[in-house]
Amino acid sequence: MNPILPPMPGASTDAAALHLVDIYAHSDILFASPHITLLGRGVFKAITPTANTLSRDVNALLISARQAGHEYPIVAGAIPFDSTQPACLIAPAQLDVAPALGAQAGTLSERALGMGECMPKPVPVPQRYCQGVDDALARFARKELDKVVLSRALDIEANADIDMSALLNNLLRQNPHGYTFAIPLGNKTDYPHVFTGASPELLVRREGNRVIANPLAGSAARSTDIAEDERRAAALLSSTKDHHEHAIVIDAVSAALRPFCTTLNVPEGPELTSTETLWHLSTTLVGELKDPETTSLDLALAMHPTPAVCGHPTRQAFDAIGEIEPFERGFFTGMVGWCDSEGNGEWAVAIRCAEIKQRRMRLYAGAGVVSGSTPEKELAETGTKLRTMLNAMGIKDADVNSAIEVSQHTNAYKDDARKDNAPEKA
């Protein structure tokens, strides 16, 4: 069994990974993790299966690619939050593989996207998002749920097409230890939609018989002041509310993985990990696979959606999201990654992301709501999470700040918070 795809000829340094980012085009698939950098160019075949046939269709596509002469066939792409909806998966015509960028990513220079001024539109408006959190808290009081993840979006239109190469460069620079991705959606003969982002969260990785998962749940905003940043990290690590939220996720992930593993190591408590904008509670689970026929995709589907992006109990949380959120998530909080013909692969949780077409984009962010949450704090957390994409785009103007920050809307929320707890679908 081959746990790691072979690198392209001469790919022995970070320069090879940087080259793949430099030659990326809008119709390509890019997936850069702490372990590998993949660039898929052209399309051997694309499929759009739903959950019922997904594993079978992917396996058939990999066999077909092998029969067509692909020495190292893979399928890569995105699977939506609602897995009954179509996935977007591609076996590329050409695959280039390089080592992970690693620390080299952090040395990249920031590149301007040339977007100019842009007008943001929050969906829903912050007051309505706060009302949604109140709705969730009422459901907790009625014992309907333990946790639900509520998200919001930010629609932005720039005055020029988005430079995807510059955006990916900036995402890699700012998030060198994350999972940076770009997945083309829709018609490849036109300028495609691109689903892109830099997720901090590994759903699952399979390397031969080894299984690794790294759920994140419980967050706190970073501070540029070192002492304050350390205080926030310590407060998160000692937070009863955030430990409860994290434990719900770990229990669900370990329950999903145990049937597939002969052994599964689950640490007693979480550690701290960080991105440029957030501290997270993190736990790494490591197991040994029971059946070598179980693929990375099989494992990912068994885990998805975790309480980190949906809630608990899953069915009730999923239904609550559909009733409270005024938009369809699509691929946001789904998963992105790849699987090869040996069953190895990596799948990351599709967060810190955006869907982009030419000059239009929709950014997404969510927050886990549990008993003890407050609407203002969850709104603030989603605003901080939107910053991953906004920072990479170089958007720091006041119009966008006022669209995502709590301070501009707190009074309006308090005056109008409970007038309408059932926003309509946009």
Length of the chain: 426
> For residue 48, how many C-alpha atoms fall within 13 Å in the half-sphere facing its CB?
7
Backbone angles phi, psi at 4, to 5 degrees: -130, 130
Of 110, 117, 147, 342, which residue is the catalytic one? 147
In the annotation, is 144 catalytic? no
Residue type (1 letter), 369: V
In the annotation, is 201 catalytic? yes
The closest of 42, 55, 41, 39 to 87, measured between CA atoms, is 55
C-alpha span between 377 and 380 (Å, rounded): 5
> For residue 229, how many C-alpha atoms fall within 13 Å in the half-sphere facing its CB?
13
CA distances from 45 to 85, 163, 215, 254, 330 (A): 19, 26, 32, 34, 22
Backbone angles phi, psi at 29, to 5 degrees: -105, 125
Strands 29-32 and 37-47: antiparallel
Dihedral over alpha carbons 76, 80, 82, 86 (to 10 degrees): -70
Which residues on adjacent β-strands are paired with residue 39?
30, 96
Dihedral over alpha carbons 141, 145, 146, 149 (to 10 degrees): -110
C-alpha span between 79 and 304 (Å, rounded): 10
Backbone angles phi, psi at 40, to 5 degrees: -100, 125
Other C-beta atoms lying within 10 Å of the C-beta of residue 423:
20
User: Using alpha carbons only, what angle is made at residue 313 by residues 151 and 233, rounded to the nearest 5 degrees?
Assistant: 55
> For residue 79, how many C-alpha atoms fall within 13 Å in the half-sphere facing its CB?
30
CA distances from 180 to 143, 148, 173, 194, 233 (A): 38, 26, 10, 13, 24
Mark 72-105 as b/e (b = at least 16 C-beta within 10 Å). Answer: ebbbbbbbbbbbebebbbbbbeebbbbbbbeebb
Catalytic site residues?
147, 201
